């Protein structure tokens, strides 16, 4: 991904953080080795997150990324609600398999990230136009698998079962045994994502 990105993560104490981390780094690779990176290749493992925006130029945060991140007037934590929809797949490496996220509840934090990170402070019209495109193109999502292999409907159902059994709650599933359907608030990380996955680096972090 060019430039840097702003990620929204579950709060440190939320059960979803270790749960999703284990799914991404261990459970899914072991159950679906042809879809995921080998456990011997940790470069394709990543922190569980929802991307708020990417394409942030280093010039934007200059020499003090933490000060820049702290200056963004994000909504209060109670106003940010990440709510899962269903597991989906798109023909794109970084969205090969992901949990969809409802637009309502994240729109304000995504808009603020885009305004301060890419479009420019006060560029509300540009932000609205981008939000319309973003929502239609892929919207909020929490990736589970990066990869190039196509995922069949049958395999998707199996992935869904593994994720539910791990503790993630998904809507409209009759035998849903999951406990967690998302989170409120969370942490925002500024991550350098302009190189190989193994070189991605958190350069600033803030709890909402």
Active site residues: 49, 141
Alpha-carbon gap, residue 144 to 161, rounded angstroms: 14
Asked whether the beta carbons of 52 and 114 are under 8 A apart, the reply is: yes
Alpha-carbon gap, residue 123 to 111, rounded angstroms: 11
Q: Which residues lie across from 187 on neighbouring strands?
A: 9, 207
């Amino acid at each position: 991904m060019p430039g840097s990105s702003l990620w929204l993560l579950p709060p440190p104490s939320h059960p979803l953080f270790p749960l999703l981390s284990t799914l991404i780094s261990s459970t899914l690779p072991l159950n679906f080795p042809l879809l995921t990176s080998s456990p011997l290749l940790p470069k394709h493992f990543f922190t569980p997150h929802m991307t708020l925006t990417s394409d942030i130029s280093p010039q934007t945060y200059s020499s003090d990324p933490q000060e820049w991140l702290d200056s963004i007037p994000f909504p209060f934590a109670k106003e940010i609600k990440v709510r899962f929809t269903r597991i989906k797949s798109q023909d794109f490496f970084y969205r090969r398999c992901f949990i969809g996220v409802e637009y309502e509840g994240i729109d304000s934090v995504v808009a603020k990230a885009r305004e301060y990170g890419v479009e420019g402070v006060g560029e509300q019209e540009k932000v609205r136009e981008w939000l319309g495109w973003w929502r239609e193109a892929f919207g909020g999502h929490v990736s589970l698998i990066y990869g190039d292999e196509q995922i069949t409907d049958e395999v998707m159902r199996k992935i869904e079962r593994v994720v539910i059994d791990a503790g993630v709650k998904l809507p409209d599933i009759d035998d849903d045994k999951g406990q967690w359907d998302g989170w409120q608030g969370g942490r925002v990380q500024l991550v350098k994502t302009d190189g190989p996955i193994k070189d991605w680096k958190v350069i600033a972090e803030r709890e909402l």
